[in-house]
Structure 1
Amino acid sequence: MRRLLLSHRALALAMAVLIVLCPGFPGGTGGQATAGPWPREKGHGFLASATQVDAAAFEGPYGVYSTVYLEYGLGRNWTVGMDIGHGISGKHKLIAFLRHPVFQGESGLIAALEIGGGTVAGEPTIRPGFSLGKGLSFTNGRSGWLSLETYGELRLVSRRTDFKADATFGVTHSDRFKTIWQLQGGVSSGDPSFLRLAPSVVVRTGRQSHVELGASADIYGGDRLGLKIGLWRDF
């Protein structure tokens, strides 16, 4: 388990360094930046790394963890990706996934199915997912999006099953500035259910890079507050 944890942290650190030190990545999608049902264009991708600190009291003890998220467009609306960090149960995860839209309506509503596999807490795990999303246009010229992402983590050894849903409302205020409001909920076998609010702001720092500054607060099932800093990179 210790070896697996170290390998996860090493991979997360390496990918975070890649984001910071490689401004010469080619291309750029200009499309939906965050996770959701929207497919990536063929040959284009998105990489995000974040570190969060949280605690139940100002004096600690503190929890510190990092995440890495990767998407890459394969063409024909297929998107492949990697999700490294913490699973629904709070245990370390490494999941590879494949996603494809199953519905695209004239109103802009899109739905996608996803299948993933990897490890959670060192156990072989299957992670199916379903997501909905819709782009928004406002009268003041701003744009935005709504999305709902749902996942189940099915561990093959312990037979433990955990579920999570994230609802997101995002607004693109300008070419350089976004705000995101996310409601995160989950049900974990043997642990209390949780619900938390996680707002953030995203500022463009380069042609293809952004910095995300966020916070989180438990509103059910816990009493922890958190702060997050993240780096986004289109390539």
Structure 2
Amino acid sequence: MPDMRCVGVTVSGLALVTGLCGSSASAGPWARDAGSVFTSFQISAEEAPFDVSVGLWEPETYLSAYAELGLGRSLTLGADIGQGDTSRQAVGFLRYTLSPPDATWQYAVDAGLGARQVGEAEPHRLVRLGASLGRGFGEGGDAWYMPLRHDGGWVNLDITALYDLELEEPILQAEGTTGFSLTDRASLTFSVKAEQWPGSDPLVTGSSSFVFQILDNTHLRLGGRGALAGSNVVGLTLSVWQEF
């Protein structure tokens, strides 16, 4: 999925973090400046490894759009919309950042409303509640715990509950993301996401992405992901991020 004021991130990394922390899967706790806009458009495709190995490439695709608008006073308005082969979902939310802009650790809570439709069934109403925390860090890579040299980065955790008012059951999601700014224009991200959907086993997926700035305010993201538990699918994602 870059967000403002990751304390400790270098100047070159800050612009990228402004969009990354607000990517489609991961909102992050950083408040956007008043009038600042971020958008993300993504397509993903998933398939079982066995089917890929025998040439049966008929992946399940998912299209999504994500947007954030800074309202000022630590408030950010967001929207997350997606459509797959069998389901559609749209959620709007308002995030409030609890920590000061210059705090090392950033904390935020959010709430919103939405709807989800599966097949031709009637849409189900959703209520969203969420919480996020994150921080930025400076350049490094010589320490034993750093996997690569970098010019700064960030780490954040997003926890979201979507309560289905018709089923009277929650959809639970938690995602942790770490990003490293490699140059003024390139970055790497790594994330792990855990999900619990009504009537399904828990699902855990891991993903990594390469992000490259193609224009002043435009980034292209190419990623891969695979299920770690609850499934056996692998997939690819392609995103375009734009800031205004």
The structural deviation recorded for 1:188 is 1.2
C-alpha separation between the residues in 2 aligned to 1:143 and 1:109?
A: 15
Aligned to 1:222: 231
Output aligned runs, 1:1-235, within 5 Å: 30=15, 32-34=18-20, 35=22, 36-56=28-48, 57-58=51-52, 59-85=56-82, 91-104=87-100, 108-121=104-117, 122-139=123-140, 142-235=151-244
The structural deviation recorded for 1:106 is 6.8
Q: What TM-score do the two structures reach when normalised by structure 2? A: 0.79
C-alpha separation between the residues in 2 aligned to 1:50 and 1:106?
A: 31
Query: Gaps (5+ residues) in structure 1?
Result: 1-28
| Counterpart residue type for residue 206 of structure 2 | L
C-alpha separation between the residues in 1 aligned to 2:35 and 2:237?
A: 29
Q: Secondary structure of 1:32's match?
A: helix
Contact 1:52 1:227 in 2 (8 A): yes
After superposition, the Cα gap between the structure-2 partners of 1:75 and 1:112, relative to the gap in structure 1 and judged at 3 Å, is same
| Counterpart residue type for residue 31 of structure 2 | P
The alignment-based identity, stated in percent, is 25
Contact 1:104 1:111 in 2 (8 A): no
The structural deviation recorded for 1:107 is 5.8
Contact 1:125 1:153 in 2 (8 A): yes
Tell me how many residue pairs correspond in the alignment. 205
The structural deviation recorded for 1:86 is 5.9
The structural deviation recorded for 1:109 is 0.5
Contact 1:117 1:127 in 2 (8 A): yes
| Counterpart residue type for residue 119 of structure 1 | A
After superposition, the Cα gap between the structure-2 partners of 1:141 and 1:221, relative to the gap in structure 1 and judged at 3 Å, is closer
Q: What TM-score do the two structures reach when normalised by structure 1? A: 0.82
Q: Deviations along 1:120-144, whole A, 9 cap, x unmatched? A: 2221110100001101112366110
**TM superposition outliers: structure 1 runs of 4+ over 4 Å:** 104-107
| Structure 1 vs Structure 2 CA RMSD | 1.9
Contact 1:46 1:233 in 2 (8 A): yes
